[in-house]
Amino acid sequence: MSKSTGQDRVTKMVEVLHEWQAIERQSMNDTAEILERTKSPFIRIIMEIIRHDSLMHHRVQQFLIDSLTVANVTVTREDVAEVWEQIQAHDRVERKTIALAEELSQAAWAPVQKQLLEYLLKDETKHDALLNQLEEFKRGMSRSSGA
């Protein structure tokens, strides 16, 4: 079995990302149809969350496609340094929202509130994880420069 060339790998990745984008577009259409049919505030908020997430997934997938086909993504130390204090401040806010969500989630008793608070907790935790990944990226930049 022969190894894939770099271009073959890029082509395959772009094909899969396009397929995934089609699924995300279908998800946005499906949730829009459900939103039109239901009057339930709980179902509506769940569908709105999913629709918004699908839109963001589609945008990230397009970013990945563009990074493979249009222009390589570069991040300089200056890019990071310019906003790093604000990123750290935002991370502190994210951690506070996690603490609030944990507190409310433990105090909640009704299934609707409990489910939505769990969603918020997971989402805020995801944001914190993204910021931690950015910090790891920053550390990697420092290590690669010998700083």
Q: What tens digit of pLDDT does each residue of 42-63 get?
A: 999 999 999 999 999 999 999 9
Task: Determine the angle formed by the axes of helices 111-145 and 41-69, rounding to 10 degrees.
Answer: 20
pTM higher than 0.75, yes or no? Answer: yes
Q: Where are the beta strands (DSSP E) in the chain?
A: none
What b-and-e string marks burial along 9-28, b requiring 16 or more CB atoms within 10 Å of the CB? eeeeebeebeeebeebeebb
- 1 pLDDT exceeds 60? no
Structure tokens at 111: 């299934």
Contact between 91 and 131 (Cβ < 8 Å): yes
Residues 59-118: tens digit of each pLDDT: 999 999 999 999 999 999 999 999 999 999 999 999 999 999 999 999 999 999 999 999
